[in-house]
Amino acid sequence: KINDIISSPTLNQAREYYCIGKSNFDKGLLKEALKFFLKAESENSADFFTQSMLGTLYLYGVNADDNVVDPARAEHHFRLAARYAKAEKKLDENFTKLEAESLFNASVAIYTQLDDNIVMSAREKFREMLIEARNLAGQAANIHPDGGLLEAEYHVAKYSALLVEPQHAIPVLKKVIIANRDYKKKAEEDPAFEPVREYVTTTI
């Protein structure tokens, strides 16, 4: 181990930064965590765990003291995390699920960027972003099949509903509900399904 550290000081430095960042994250010190994860990235950008933590902070990083949320940056880092997980799974199949989860989180990050300004002033941009979010969620579901990532499939249905494409939304939603009945109530309460509500209520 000592020889590995000596022969690869850059990777060792990146690991130290990552561990400090993770410790700060676990304590709820989000700004401090972000600082060290960015340092880790500067030393070793092609690391799944660093990219995943950066994505997590930028997508979900808010508490009583800090707010580091930036959905566009979250999308960027989760896409990189998926890329590096894909490379790692050639050696470790456990990274298959991590790749799928990263793609799904990237799709959520895109969805989070859809504010009222985009909806009202750039309908085509709104549509393009929703289609990309759906594609990423679909990839996630396909990579981790057999009900392993039902939330991704639910979001495929959700994005299709927002695109007013019941022919895509309803079959996927039915599949998800058959696998887990909790999604029936979730869909009934989710305003994203309003554009296809009549199909939801009559077919599910």
Q: What is the share, in percent, of the chain residues with pLDDT greater than 90?
A: 81
Q: What is the pLDDT of residue 165?
A: 95
Segment 15-32 mean pLDDT: 97
Does the pLDDT at position 169 exceed 90? yes
* pLDDT tens-place string over residues 131-142: 999 999 999 999
Interatomic CA distance for residues 92 and 89, integer angstroms = 5
Q: 67 has which bridge partners? A: 62
Hey, what are 61's tokens? 């990083």
Residue with the larger pLDDT of the pair 202 and 166: 166
* DSSP string of 81-138, one letter each residue: HHHHHHHHTTT-TTHHHHHHHHHHHHHHHHHHT--HHHHHH-HHHHHHHHHHHHHHHH
* pLDDT tens-place string over residues 36-50: 999 999 999 999 999
Q: Tell me how many degrees the CA angle 180-182-184 measures, rounded to the nearest 5.
A: 95
**pLDDT grade, residue 201 (50/70/90)?**
confident
Interatomic CA distance for residues 119 and 57, integer angstroms = 26
Does the pLDDT at position 154 exceed 90? yes
Q: What is the pLDDT of residue 53?
A: 98
Does the pLDDT at position 2 exceed 60? no
**pLDDT grade, residue 146 (50/70/90)?**
low
**pLDDT grade, residue 188 (50/70/90)?**
very high
* pLDDT tens-place string over residues 65-117: 999 999 999 999 999 999 999 999 989 999 999 999 999 999 999 999 997 55
Say if CB 99 and CB 143 are below 8 A apart. Answer: yes
Does the pLDDT at position 7 exceed 90? no
Q: What is the pLDDT of residue 204?
A: 73
Q: What is the pLDDT of residue 36?
A: 98
Segment 15-25 mean pLDDT: 97
Residue with the larger pLDDT of the pair 186 and 148: 186
Say if CB 160 and CB 169 are below 8 A apart. Answer: yes
